[in-house]
Amino acid sequence: MPAKTVFVALSGGVDSSTVAALLKEAGYNVRGIYLRLWGRPNQPGCRYREDIGFVQHVSKRLAIPTEVWDKRVEYKRLILDYFIDGYKSGNTPNPDVLCNSRFKFGVFLKEALARGADFVASGHYARIARKDSVFDLPSDKLALVTGVDPRKDQSYFLARLTLDQLKHIIMPLGHIPKYKVREIAKLFGLKTASRKDSQGICFLGDIDVVDFLKQYITPKKGKIIDIETNETVGEHDGVWFYTIGQRHGLGIGGAGIPYYVVSKDIKNNILYVAKGRENSYLCKKKIKVKDLHWITSNKAHKELFAVIRYQATPIKVVFEEERTGMYLRALEGYFWAPAKGQFVVLYSADYVKDNQKVKEFFDSLDASEIVKRLLQGKLAKEVLNLRYAKVLGSAVIDE
């Protein structure tokens, strides 16, 4: 039987290059694809030339063919316009979530399959449950599952995917913590092992979000008002550049207690703030949601846990349907600083468990042993119970 063909979305970083190395070692026919999505080579924040240099190194080191696909037009239409329009309307959009569902596993996946790929692969820290390869969690039912690394789990950003998309995706790194991935990259002789991770917007590099938005939204001075005293306490450059729960960058003091953004009046360009992180304006027991998207049915799960932003603490919740719409009510704790436009991701369990056991397990293994167990299909089973929760679906905060 001929080897399956996998197109790997190479970014020039350590994660995607390690994925390419692991797939090649596993016997797949690997092709690297660099997606050019934004910017000119000399534009601030654009790392195109640097990225290409690392991609070429990976291609040569692993002896795999690579291509550059210019998708700037599609990316602007599907992701950047959504991002900019979201802020213009006062929402808090998350381009990373839609970049995965609409673009990486939308546009890229569709074209890869049309060009002969059996799968596409990425460096996401999440896992897929099925029986297609040694990189999957053994399961009779297809599902998206949290990554084993609690500090790097990226299942939140994948919660708008469908089962049809998942069946064509491979994500080997979900079984491995990030610090071990760098060791594995070094084992394969990849220069990306020491390359610093990008911390910016999806595919945009390390550009400052506000600086980026100011290229498309004209700054306009407005008042910052203390919502409890109704006093003007400062001035801002435009409510569009701020988000609910923001503390830094306001340019105002708080007499020892910091101010946080609690509300935005878009029409009148007024930013409302309140003192203290745990004030009643930020701590909500119930939030209105819309655009529900289910990856797998929630009927078999008696408990639901919601996460309203990346790396936020899971909150036990229940759905409540009212005359005015659908709501999520916190059964334990509260939602902190929910903002309109944010994604709420729903899990089958409170997955922040056994973090110390994860570290202890991997500290006992060197990079070569991890690769060996991964390619034998053992590692996926060994880490199964260290940290596990299914991603059931997601929704969008509506108010």
Q: Domain segments of the chain: what residues?
A: 5-200+355-378, 209-275, 283-354+393-397
Which residues have CB under 8 Å from 55's CB, separation 6+?
10, 11, 12, 32, 34, 66
| CATH classification for the domain delimited by 283-354+393-397, as one of 1.10.1760, 3.30.1490, 2.40.160, 2.40.30 | 2.40.30
- Among residues of the chain, what percentage have pLDDT more than 70? 92
| pLDDT reading at 353 higher than 80 | no
- The values of phi and psi at residue 257, to 5°, are -110, 120
* pLDDT tens for each residue of 199-219: 656 655 667 788 888 889 999
- Residue that the structure tokens 């070692």 belong to: 25
Q: How far apart are the C-alpha atoms of 55 and 368, rounded to whole Å? A: 23
Per the CB < 8 A criterion, the answer to whether 30 and 55 are in contact is no
pTM of the predicted model as reported, rounded to 2 decimal places: 0.93
Q: How far apart are the C-alpha atoms of 66 and 78, rounded to whole Å? A: 25
> Catalytic: which of 20, 99, 370, 374?
99
| pLDDT reading at 76 higher than 70 | yes
> Would you mind telling me the total number of residues written for the chain in this entry?
399
Q: What is the mean pLDDT of residues 85-106?
A: 93
Q: How far apart are the C-alpha atoms of 11 and 366, rounded to whole Å? A: 26
* pLDDT tens for each residue of 38-74: 765 555 556 778 899 999 999 999 999 999 999 999 9
- Among residues of the chain, what percentage have pLDDT more than 90? 74
Torsion of CA 66, 72, 74, 75, to 10 degrees: 100
Q: Would you state the pLDDT for residue 388?
A: 84
Instruction: Look up residue 46 and give its amino acid.
Output: C
* pLDDT tens for each residue of 308-329: 999 898 999 999 999 999 999 9
Q: Would you state the pLDDT for residue 115?
A: 97
Q: Would you state the pLDDT for residue 53?
A: 94
- DSSP-H helix ranges across the chain: 14-25, 48-62, 72-75, 81-88, 95-98, 109-114, 163-166, 178-187, 209-213, 355-363, 367-375, 379-382
* CATH fold of 5-200+355-378: Rossmann fold (3.40.50)
Per the CB < 8 A criterion, the answer to whether 276 and 257 are in contact is yes
| CATH classification for the domain delimited by 209-275, as one of 2.40.10.10, 3.30.460.10, 2.60.40.1930, 2.30.30.280 | 2.30.30.280
Active-site residue 99, yes or no?
A: yes
- What rounded mean pLDDT belongs to the chain? 91
Q: How far apart are the C-alpha atoms of 232 and 225, rounded to whole Å? A: 4
Q: Would you state the pLDDT for residue 295?
A: 93
| pLDDT reading at 6 higher than 80 | yes
Question: Higher model confidence: residue 385 or residue 235?
Answer: 235
Torsion of CA 301, 315, 296, 75, to 10 degrees: 180
> Catalytic: which of 30, 64, 107, 202?
202
Q: Are 5-200+355-378 and 283-354+393-397 the same fold in CATH?
A: no
Nearest CA to 101 out of 38, 162, 171 is that of 162
